[in-house]
Amino acid sequence: MMSDCIFCRIARGEIPSKKIYEDEEIFAFHDINPIAPVHFMIVPKLHIASLAEANMSHQMLLGRILAKANDMARSQGLNEGFRTIINTGRIGHQEVYHLHVHILGGPEPLGSMLKRKAP
C-alpha cells in the first residue's frame, strides 16, 4: 500500500533529497538538519513505522541496512568509525515514523553517547 509518510515520499522521489545510495530494498540520504559533520540515514523502502513494529519477517531487510552501513560510511569519508542510532517511539525521541538508521561521524570523535544527568 502506498504511504504518504515523508520518507516514503522521499523514496519515491516526490520530495528531493541528497541521496547517497539506493538499491531495490533500501536507500540512504543526508539528514536535512545534520547534527554532525556527516549525518545521513539508511531507510528501508518498505514502510515500517519504527523498530517497535519490526518482526522476524524483516530480518533480511534490517540485516541488509547494517551490512551496507560501513560501505556507505566510507563513501562519505568515515574511515575511522561512526555512530549508528535508531530512535524508537516517544521515549526514543523518534520524530519520523518510518524506520531509519542514523549514521553520524566526522573528523573528530563524537563524544559520549548521551549526556549523564547531574545526580
Residue positions annotated with a catalytic role: 100
Residue 51 DSSP class: G
Based on the shown chain and the rule CB under 6 A, indicate whether residue 32 belongs to the binding site for ligand 5GP.
Answer: yes
Contact of residue 47 among ligand 5GP, Zn ion, none (CB under 5-8 Å per partner type): Zn ion
Q: In the numeric block, which cell numbers belong to residue 58?
A: 524483516
- Confirm if 29 and 38 have CB atoms less than 8 A apart: no
> Which 3 state secondary structure label does DSSP give 28?
strand
Virtual CA dihedral for 5, 105, 114, 33, nearest 10 degrees? -40
Binding to ligand 5GP in span 78-117, by CB under 6 A: 87, 93-96
CB of 12 to ligand 5GP, least distance (A): 13
Size of the site for ligand 5GP (CB under 6 A): 13
Question: Which residues are near Zn ion by CB under 5 A?
Answer: 3, 5, 7-8, 47, 98
